[in-house]
Amino acid sequence: MTQTLDFFRARLDGMIDLKHPLVVLATRLPWAALEAALAPIWRRAARDGVLREDADLFDGSGGVLVGSGVSQAGRPRLPIRLMCSLIYLKHAFNLSDEDTCERWAENVVWQYFSGMDYYEPRLPCDATQIGRFRLDIGEAGLEAILKATIDTAVASKAIKPVEFERVIVDSTVQEKAIAYPVDARLLEIARHKLVVAAKRCGIALRQTFAKEGKTLRRKAGGYAHARQFKRQRTLVGKLIREVRGKLAAGSINEQANAMSLASLATLMERADRIRTQQPKDKNKLYALHAPEV
């Protein structure tokens, strides 16, 4: 980042320890190559414009192209080095976008790493701009930043190439798209899914208990105090017995394929587990769609 010399302020390189790891890294990273790689992605895209068919008042001919080219609206883009530095610092120190901006305004080493010549007692940008920059450069841009840091580490012999031959991934904790396993919720979901799977196989149910199921789930809090979860378990049990009876009698749609029947059998087995499991049982089912949880 090129800045005008200011004789009334001290330069950052005279205020910091030049042996600091971030200072050394700032002098060894290929910033020019990184900016050249990300410039086409970060540049404002040219618009095709719209051809207006308005008649010309002078010669009567229409067809005027408007809105084409690069828009000059809005504030100019921030320097690529600054945004790449903020991305690196955010992940290196495991900070949020807001915390990264606040610490940058207080840390002279971080400002030197970002290409600043003088201390700036302000935020580098709005915190939301870091997220927008990350989305604009996409996966390819983030890979370019990661590659630049790895190549610099290898070139400076901070990391040996043999260390990249094997990658160890810690997957002890993996997020799952499940809600808190409340018994009332699990029983209502089991009832609903069972009804949908039975209809897909062409099984005509005498009762789906849709109204009763919604009412019982709404009253689940009161039933929990009285330990009266048997009401929901009874409804699910009735549906399971009816579906099993009609499957045994062959009362299914002729167009029902093997996949639909297999899905129905799996749902019946999991619904029966939810219906019969107790609070202190082992290997409980906590999610109908993810039994491994």
Per-residue pLDDT, 195: 85
Distance CA 21, CA 16 (A): 11
Per-residue pLDDT, 109: 94
Instruction: Find residue 118's DSSP bridge partners.
Output: 11
Per-residue pLDDT, 26: 92
- Residue-level pLDDT, tens digit, the chain, 293 residues: 445 667 778 888 888 999 999 999 999 999 999 999 888 887 776 666 666 665 455 555 556 666 666 666 667 778 999 999 999 999 999 999 999 999 999 999 999 999 999 999 999 999 999 999 999 888 888 999 999 998 898 888 888 888 877 777 776 666 777 777 777 788 888 888 888 888 888 888 888 888 887 777 777 666 555 555 677 788 888 888 888 888 888 777 666 677 788 888 888 888 888 888 887 788 888 887 877 77
Distance CA 92, CA 94 (A): 6
Cβ–Cβ < 8 Å for 152, 65: no
Per-residue pLDDT, 279: 75
Per-residue pLDDT, 83: 93
> Residue ranges of the domains in the chain?
12-44+76-164, 183-276
Per-residue pLDDT, 174: 66
Per-residue pLDDT, 100: 94
Assigned token pair, 131: 């997220």
Per-residue pLDDT, 40: 83
Distance CA 90, CA 140 (A): 18
Contacts of 138 (CB under 8 A, 6+ apart): 41
Per-residue pLDDT, 32: 92
Cβ–Cβ < 8 Å for 243, 268: yes
